[in-house]
Structure 1
């Protein structure tokens, strides 16, 4: 099958590799139709990472079931599906209670199986394959991984109707966070430094957008909240800007409020210069949010699929660029250079 393999210098080489085979009777083989490039993927772009050389990357994907194991009952060949790529070892204490997003072996397990979106075929346990309604496209479904990350953060936040929320970062995660917060009945402020992303946030219902490079974001937030601060701030930028954006999030937040850390940290230590005395004396809660799994009895991906199918989440507006797998390096360059390309979500047709 065709696949994009990470090279020693951190970009991709498209080549032919062996097609995966179904290893267990409750597993499924699917043909990948669309994959997405997310912020996590971009943090690996053009980085020399010897442990990832010749690996297939990518974890946002939708496709068509080709073959099923003898024990599979929830999907059949020909079904259109979105594929959840958060897969733990199924043996640890966290997996046993459906908190597999916290599995100590999460990344090593998922990257050997379902988390291989940049290839023609993928295998995984049947429970990770969700049937798509006819009116939900493969492209739209590819954003469900992003929306599920946002859903998990929403659940952890304890958001209430009429809350005031700040979303820092208007990439796919931030724009998903905006939509879910609005669906919960909140007023939402969105900050970013890319004007085109802020325009899209406004289209998706943001009550206030702030270009934090051109405006005094703190002053604007205080004006909007009558000098109280927001009830909840969602840090959705992550990556190299996180030291700045976490600090912003804490200053935007009111006494007794919450900061959700949704954007991804790079490995190793990240120095954060925060006003710890104010955070402590204001009892501002800093809440890390890691990927997604179940919330109670409900899979968070299924919850997002239901909202998308009902028209309560808009995925189509977030898809700004489309490339073939052969053009994956151009696609990554486009996704990286948002100021110039106005990219939000870049889709790859496999």
Structure 2
């Protein structure tokens, strides 16, 4: 559109040019005749109807879900931190939606049995996975072969919570800060032991990241679970360990171990005086997490509904208070944000497994 000789030059709309060609007329912008609307081609009408049908179907799926009992598969044991959080959310979902939500513990093979079951479930909104770093970010690098693909077989729904891991030392040692630990280890290269809950466990790999980023020479001593690892720390068999915050309150109250850092990006609300390791190692973030995943192919409307309802469940005052007691930070992220986090976690633990040299026994 431009000005020529003081007059406004109005281009003929393409639609009207087409009408003119068909009917042997010219489009006159000064005409007071009513504007003629282009007829919509049949294909375009069908496309619009298809989009409307899809949108209606998605809205219906979201409104109708859930119509049958919903199972959340937890690949780990009853009573674990993952299990406690999942049950709290599940119970509140059942209450809020007046519908049955149940936890099914399908344990074994480092969580692979339950995770495979969720991957193979029908994507109809009746089965979801309670995912954590071990099954969804570590096992893909730890095992040469897995019966599931952590990316292709699942759709992230929402991150429920984050759990800071805590770097702790035997309280009898003269170590009161992370800087003290660095000085202590560098004065005894290869002579300081750290314990973990097992080869390739989250506590092992987070400690390997700390070692690498702080350039520390320590010896790994794996135990068969977090409880024996903490017992070894208290007994002085090892000097350092990383443990999940939910497992630590009793040990911290007894004074047997001393916290010197949390692995989350910021300080933990329940341990406000304990620095985050990111204050010494810029960018360090190795908090544990619990993410709900759906089998690939689950309707996006159902995924969005579960994410929203899970967030609402965690807003309940009783649930919120219980999670706070455990040291959990409520997240309730969108599916897109959760997917981005999952990809970052996969890359982080790919590096950690490579550094550690850990391999799972097949």
TM (normalized to structure 2)?
A: 0.30
Identify which of structures 1 and 2 has the higher relative contact order when contacts are C-alpha pairs closer than 8 Å and 6+ apart: 2
From the CA coordinates, give the structure whose radius of gyration is larger.
2
TM (normalized to structure 1)?
A: 0.31
